[in-house]
Amino acid sequence: MTPHRYLPVTEADRADMLRTIGVADIGDLFADIPAEVRYKGALPVSPALDEPALLRHMNALAGRNADSERYVSFLGAGIYDHHIPVVIQHLVSRSEFYTAYTPYQPEISQGELQAMFEFQSYICELTGMAVANASMYDGATALAEAAALAAGATKRRKIVLSRAVHPEARAIVATSARGLGLDVVTVGSADGLTDLAELEAAVDADTAAVVMQSPNFFGGIEPLRDIANVAHRSKALLAVSANPLSLGLLEPPGKLGADIVVGDAQPLGIPAQLGGPTCGFFAVSEPLMRRMPGRIVGQTTDKGGKRGFVLTLQTREQHIRRERATSNICSNQALLALCASVYLSVMGKAGIREAAELNVRKAHYAAGRLGAIPGVKLAFAAPFFNEFALKLPEGADIGALSARLLEAGYLGGYELGRDYSELQGHLLVAITERRTKAEIDAFAERLEAIL
């Protein structure tokens, strides 16, 4: 019996496979690669470790990560430290969900299909839209798909994109647009919100979509009704990326004129997980339903009159003729969509509203507390949900500041100067319902002491 019972291939297995394919050793498999380009010598890695040593080594590496259980997090910028009810992990760890794959056979996939259907229903209610699909990879790719949908629906090639949208999402929109032959025009911001005058000048008869984020990357709540009017005057569509938790308080974008609403469901019970994976949502007005990427789960009845669920609409090339596909999106994030569904179910309408209110109140308390530090002030006067920008004293080294905060047990904010040259010395701070008054006060005291 081999001492390595959990290794997938033993030495005897290797010898048997080599003998079956007719080669003497593994090196023969690389004979076609010229010797001069092959790596010479031994790779600079440690020798093999036994199981106890390996576990110690991996735990030591994992311990070097600054997670939000051992550190107090004020870091947001797209991934947030929200409370996750313990029931979520219990339910999503069930093998029926955890190992499920694409539900091609509805007769044996009713649980998975119902979970997707409930997710769609929740997203429609949150966003104020008519139809939602069964989730996307993440919020950024969903936004790129929104731009592509708008171009296909309007037969126009120009995308007007706010610079207040998350920089990584803007990069993905630009990459997708390049492949589709779309022109992306970026409009600037003023006082933490999209510059409406610049937006009006950019939108014309060639514009397929105006693409916004609200709350935006700086935390500001955009005037979506005014922006919708600008877009619709030129018969362009309005696509909005929204924080779903903020919709527990804010008017749904669909009620303010949005034609497409997307976002990332990470605030709804999904752990930060080193930045991903997360889950995107995608919702549209009814006229755009058949242009949505991905798939839609529908409710029906079987021949016995019992409630059932099926994949109703599948507009990807894997399911229909390639030339009719709206997108090559291949899969969704059903397990993480289930996290969001369980979160929304457990919290209910009152719970979602309470969580959103806690985010607003605590963030505004923190903004007042941090903005009172000598030399520090709020960068923008725009209304915000749970994230805001601070302007630090002239010459402040945010890299050194973040390192010292980390030593003190804090994950400080995000350095805006990394993406916006005009915002050097600015720190983006996120406050969620998990932050206590004591933590906010202690953070403010530590920040003031370091500055």
Q: CA-CA distance, 295 to 109, in Å (whole number)? A: 15
Beta strands in 231-336, from DSSP E residues, in sequence order: 237-241, 260-264, 280-284, 295-301, 307-314
When pLDDT is cut at 50, 70 and 90, the band that residue 324 belongs to is low
**pLDDT attached to residue 331:** 62
Which CATH code, of 3.40.50.920, 1.25.40.10, 3.90.1150.10, 3.30.420.40, is assigned to 72-84+348-450?
3.90.1150.10
Phi, psi of 162 (to 5 degrees): -75, 140
Sign of CA dihedral 300, 302, 304, 306: negative
Which CATH code, of 3.40.50.1820, 3.40.640.10, 3.40.50.170, 3.40.50.300, is assigned to 86-343?
3.40.640.10
- Residue range 200-227: mean pLDDT, rounded: 98
421: pLDDT strictly greater than 70: yes
- Residue range 133-142: mean pLDDT, rounded: 92
Query: What pairing do the DSSP bridges indicate for beta strands 307-314 and 377-378?
Result: unpaired
Q: CA-CA distance, 58 to 40, in Å (whole number)? A: 28
Q: Is 14 helix (H, G, I), strand (E, B) or coil?
A: helix
Share of the chain above pLDDT 90, in %: 75
Cβ contact 76:387 at 8 Å: yes
As a residue count, the chain comes to: 451
155: pLDDT strictly greater than 50: yes
Cβ contact 288:152 at 8 Å: no
Sign of CA dihedral 331, 335, 339, 341: positive
- Amino acid (one-letter) located at 218: F
Query: Taking the model in full, what pTM does it have?
Result: 0.88
**pLDDT attached to residue 294:** 83
- Residue range 248-275: mean pLDDT, rounded: 96
Q: Where are the domains of the chain?
A: 72-84+348-450, 86-343
Beta strands in 327-395, from DSSP E residues, in sequence order: 377-378, 387-391
| Adjacency order of strands within the sheet including 183-187 | 131-132, 280-284, 260-264, 237-241, 207-213, 158-162, 183-187
151: pLDDT strictly greater than 70: yes
pLDDT in tens, 332-360: 688 899 999 999 999 999 999 999 999 99
pLDDT in tens, 7-59: 678 889 999 999 999 999 888 999 899 989 988 888 898 888 998 999 999 99
pLDDT in tens, 358-410: 999 999 999 999 999 999 999 999 999 999 999 999 989 999 999 999 999 99
**pLDDT attached to residue 330:** 60
